């Protein structure tokens, strides 16, 4: 599991907001610090979404925007403020690909899967976005808030990163890529099924 994921599983956006001084009411709403907000229009749970200015994302994005720091700095800040233990190094020994060629093949495979997943996240964020504060959040909308920034970053590194960075992604995210591949295939399957039924 990646350290981004560990952190997001450990701290909700609501907890972070309260910790950093936002007043969150009983239904998880607060006055948005990102626009001039007179009534609480920022909904906080695992992620955040503002009904006023439309800003949204995961806990890492929230802290990075709140303090004007990078995502990496936000991860370190959250980990230290919430005492979350994060392993930044130390991949399992059996996860090194046999050859350079194998790594290159894997990078192509991973890029394709992550691009497909990213497109899906963009759609979920757009079409499953809640329209009223009281509505429960669709799980796929939450997933999109949680994962979009990480997936975008991973794709960027796979496209433009060094061999060393590719190696690191292989070590830390290989299992995640496999599970995303499985999941998107299942979703595609169910979507095709519903098409033929209608
Ligand atoms: Zn706002």
Q: Is 79 helix (H, G, I), strand (E, B) or coil?
A: helix
Ligand 1 centre from 65 Cα, in Å?
A: 12
Please, which pLDDT band fits residue 198 given cuts at 50, 70 and 90? Answer: very low
Ligand 1 centre from 37 Cα, in Å?
A: 7
Please, which pLDDT band fits residue 26 given cuts at 50, 70 and 90? Answer: very high
Tokens describing residue 4 = 């981004």
Ligand 1 centre from 119 Cα, in Å?
A: 25
Q: Which residue has the higher pLDDT, 64 or 194?
A: 64
pLDDT of res. 114: 94
Could you give the count of Cα atoms lying within 13 Å of 26 in the half-sphere of its Cβ? 0
C-alpha torsion angle, residues 161, 166, 169, 174 (rounded to 10): 140
For 112-150, how does the pLDDT look when each residue is reduced to its tens digit (9 = 90+)? 899 989 998 999 998 899 988 888 899 899 999 999 999
Ligand 1 centre from 10 Cα, in Å?
A: 25
Q: Is 34 helix (H, G, I), strand (E, B) or coil?
A: coil
Residue 170 near residue 80, CB atoms below 8 Å: no
Q: Which residue has the higher pLDDT, 198 or 132?
A: 132
Ligand 1 centre from 49 Cα, in Å?
A: 8
Ligand 1 centre from 55 Cα, in Å?
A: 6
Residue 96 DSSP one-character state: S
pLDDT of res. 197: 41
pLDDT of res. 69: 86
Ligand 1 centre from 75 Cα, in Å?
A: 22
Ligand 1 centre from 48 Cα, in Å?
A: 10
Ligand 1 centre from 51 Cα, in Å?
A: 7
Q: Label residues 8-31 b or e (16+ Cβ within 10 Å = b).
A: bebbbbbbbbeeeebebeeebbbb
Ligand 1 centre from 96 Cα, in Å?
A: 44
Residue 4 Cα to chain centre, angstroms: 8
pLDDT at 87 over 80: no
Ligand 1 centre from 164 Cα, in Å?
A: 39
% pLDDT > 70, the chain: 86
Ligand 1 centre from 3 Cα, in Å?
A: 28
Mean pLDDT of 73-102: 70
Please, which pLDDT band fits residue 75 given cuts at 50, 70 and 90? Answer: confident
| Residue 29, beta-bridge partner list | 43
Please, which pLDDT band fits residue 101 given cuts at 50, 70 and 90? Answer: confident
Please, which pLDDT band fits residue 3 given cuts at 50, 70 and 90? Answer: low
Residue 71 near residue 61, CB atoms below 8 Å: yes
């Amino acid at each position: 599991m990646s350290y981004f994921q560990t952190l997001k599983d450990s701290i909700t956006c609501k907890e972070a907001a309260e910790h950093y001084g936002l007043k969150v009411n009983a239904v998880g709403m607060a006055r948005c610090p990102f626009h001039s907000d007179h009534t609480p229009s920022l909904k906080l749970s695992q992620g955040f979404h503002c009904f006023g200015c439309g800003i949204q994302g995961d806990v890492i994005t929230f802290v990075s925007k709140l303090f004007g720091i990078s995502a990496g700095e936000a991860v370190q800040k959250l980990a230290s403020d919430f005492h979350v233990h994060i392993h930044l190094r130390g991949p399992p020994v059996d996860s090194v690909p046999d050859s350079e060629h194998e790594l290159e093949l894997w990078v192509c495979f991973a890029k394709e899967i992550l691009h497909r997943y990213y497109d899906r996240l963009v759609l979920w964020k757009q079409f499953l976005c809640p329209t009223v504060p009281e509505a429960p959040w669709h799980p796929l909308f939450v997933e999109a808030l949680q994962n979009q920034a990480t997936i975008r970053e991973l794709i960027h590194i796979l496209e433009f990163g060094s061999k060393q960075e590719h190696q690191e992604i292989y070590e830390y995210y290989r299992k995640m890529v496999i599970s995303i591949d499985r999941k998107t295939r299942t979703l595609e399957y169910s979507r095709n099924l519903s098409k033929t039924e209608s």
